[in-house]
Amino acid sequence: MKKKIFGLIFICLFLLTGSSVALNIESIRFNDNTPPNPPTIVGPINGKIRQSYIYNITVTDPDEDNKLLKLEVDFGDGIVQEDCGCDTPWENGEIIQMEHSWKKQGTFNITGRDEHNEWSQWSEPITVTMPKNKISLNALINKFLVSFSNSVKFLNLLIANI
């Protein structure tokens, strides 16, 4: 009796497992989409803080899906933009321009999504250097010496006229 119950359980598990494997194989056949390639980014890597810069972003899909739907851009400065500003989907390989200004230097990455809702891997990061607005020590010392030199000349003139 125990052998019959064990055999029945084994057959049920085999049928259930086999049918779920068959369903997974079928779903793989119907979902034959490859995600887009990682986006490429072209634009300035040096600049001034709070000045806007334009970056050209290209996303291509190896399946040559006609439409790409969305970009997600992590600018590396706490701002993640989840749309390219496009009102409609764009063509495979079309260049999308995005504008951004930084408050500090950082690294940013981009990912894209195709019409089958597949996301690409993140792009290669781009490091953007935005120097701080600092007066260099040499410039500060130079200003002091020029100012001091002018003060000495003024004092000499003042003493000479007394």
Q: What is the pLDDT of residues 31-42, one digit of tens each?
A: 577 888 888 888
d(CA 41, CA 21): 41
- The predicted-structure confidence for 62-109, as pLDDT tens digits, reads as follows 876 667 777 778 877 777 776 666 667 778 888 888 888 887 766 677
Distances (CA, A) of 148 to 41, 48, 156: 50, 32, 12
pLDDT of residue 28: 47
Beta strands in 5-122 (DSSP E): 40-42, 53-58, 67-74, 80-81, 90-91, 95-100, 106-114
Nearest Cα neighbor of 43 from 96, 121, 104, 88 is 96
